[in-house]
Amino acid sequence: MEPLLKKYNVTHHVSTAYHPQTNGQAEVSNREVKSILEKTVNPSRKDWSSRLDDALWAYQIAYKTPIGMSLFRLFFGKPCHLPVELEHRAFCVVKQCNFNVVEAGRHRKLQLQELEELRNDSYENSKIYKERTKLFHYKSITHKNFEPGRRVLLYHSRLKLFPGKLRSRWIGPFVVLKVFEHGVVEIQSEETGKIFKVNGHRLKPFYEGFNANVQDVIQLEAPVY
């Protein structure tokens, strides 16, 4: 593992992401490379390091919907053409397959001049794609409004690391002290009195239920003759 990290100049740090949803673009890229490796490695899955270069090359020349082109074209300004070897007995036919070097040079210079415009187009396509994805994501979100003094429950994010049978995913209740912009809420624990800030999507209202007198319930449920 260490030689592979040195080869690609990767510094390995072990950490736990608090909010991994904000790192969506990197997660999507890693998931696509992982999917390519799953289809190419041996059943023992020990040769993944030797297949990594081919997997990255396949990922870079593939068409990306958000930017409307491949990463290879975004960097070099032209689509990727894989080398092809042609073999023919007649020399005149092979001669026709050769490209005109002067004309190819002019075309390449024109592509380099259009590279900045190409990158601007990819930026606009990516921006439009993100706006559409954002609108689609917001349609499925239920907006929560919290007020100071209200009791709420907090989602137990560490339950996946330390699972337990029949254990509730919500802990609390907590008291809302202050609501900030962009969904940040400051809460206080009723047991320990600890004050901390959390993301609003990890909270839900705490309903104490209907507190009725036991004698009133017995009188209501008693049959009338």
119 and 68, same domain (yes or no): yes
The 10s digit of each residue's pLDDT in 80-92 is 877 777 677 777 7
Give the structural domain span for 26: 2-139
pLDDT per residue over 147-199, tens digit each?
Answer: 898 899 998 876 655 555 667 788 888 999 999 887 889 999 988 888 988 88
| Whether 75 and 157 share a structural domain | no
Q: b/e per residue, 44-75, with b = 16+ CB within 10 A?
A: eeeebeebbeebeeebeeeebebbbbbbbbbe
Asked if residue 213 has pLDDT above 60, the reply is no
Number of domains in the chain: 2
Higher-scoring residue by pLDDT: 212, 174 = 174
For residue 150, the domain's CATH number is 2.30.30.40
Same domain, 6 and 91: yes
Query: Do 135 and 149 have their domain in common?
Result: no
**160/71 same-domain check:** no
189 shares its domain with 206: yes
The residue out of 121, 139, 157 marking a domain boundary is: 139
Do 80 and 66 sit in the same domain of this protein? yes
Cis peptide, bond prior to residue 3, ω within 30 of zero? no
Report d(CA 202, CA 156) in Å as an integer: 8
**Residue 225 and residue 131 in one domain:** no
Domain boundary among 139, 170, 190: 139
Tracing tokens 């049978």 back to the chain, one arrives at 165
